[in-house]
Structure 1
Amino acid sequence: MSEEEVRSLVQSFLKALNTNDHDAALAMVSEDVAHDPFDGEREIGREKLGWRLGLRGRHFDERLADITVMNAPGGIRAAAEFTVRGTYRTTAEGLPEAAGQTYTLPGGMFFEIDGGEITRISEQRNPVQWWAALSATC
């Protein structure tokens, strides 16, 4: 893929996340996508990523803003930096009780692309700041 096509793919993926169009997001990843969530261990597979997106959507309302997409020459790797704006809606197992806590955090994702599909997504945000925001009382 060209560098512009990679940038467009990543932008489309992030747009799908922002509109909660999980089917569209999953259509852009490989069947055996490697997903490194910021809060857990690596998960392999489109089905597991779909499960994670659904679980996240049930407990959190998040939007990515101020998005900047960068990619390396060669069309294999890309990165996105953004601001995560979220609301903790329903209590998730192992997390503090949800009471509508809001948070704004810097975040990022790193991508690998192969054959026109996203083959790796590594998420980054500060889990200490995120936990503190979820622990705050409204």
Structure 2
Amino acid sequence: MSKDIVQAYFDAFNARDIDGMLACLHDDVAHHVNEGKVRIGKTAFAEFCAHMARCYDETLTEMVLFEAEGGARAAAEYMVNGTYLETDPGLPEARAQGYRLPAGSFFSIRDDRIARVVTYYNLADWIRQVS
């Protein structure tokens, strides 16, 4: 069931367990981030997660998971509750500002692993909250 692997992925995210997140991913995962380049593979995903952990402390709440018939796709809607820890290049200066932001992710599932992750949120809203 695709919702199970997606739930495990988000549980690992909230536990700040990058290895747990990686265990949910297909080796050639395509990671589509909001306002960024597509990253291919677990190594690129792990590098992104390390950067995010350095700059942001986030917990996802109000999670609603959806699964397409057949289990090849899933989606999630949630709230990102965060603290901006370290200035991310090109973004406002970090001063431990808090933020709360609705977001969503879309997933493709292959061989019981996540093969594609697409994440969306309103960057202008986030910038307004941390500025």
1:57-136 equivalences in 2 (<5 Å):
57-135=53-131
Runs of 5+ consecutive residues of structure 2 not aligned to the other structure: none
Q: How many residues of Structure 1 are paired with residues of Structure 2 in the alignment?
A: 131
Runs of 5+ consecutive residues of structure 1 not aligned to the other structure: none
In structure 2, distance between residues paired with 1:27 and 1:86: 24
State the Cα RMSD in Å.
0.8
In structure 2, distance between residues paired with 1:108 and 1:121: 10
1:18, distance to aligned residue in structure 2 (A): 0.7
1:60, distance to aligned residue in structure 2 (A): 0.3
TM-score when normalising by structure 2: 0.97
TM-score when normalising by structure 1: 0.92
2:33 maps to which of 31, 37, 44: 37
Identity %: 38
- Structure 2 counterpart SS, 1:98: coil
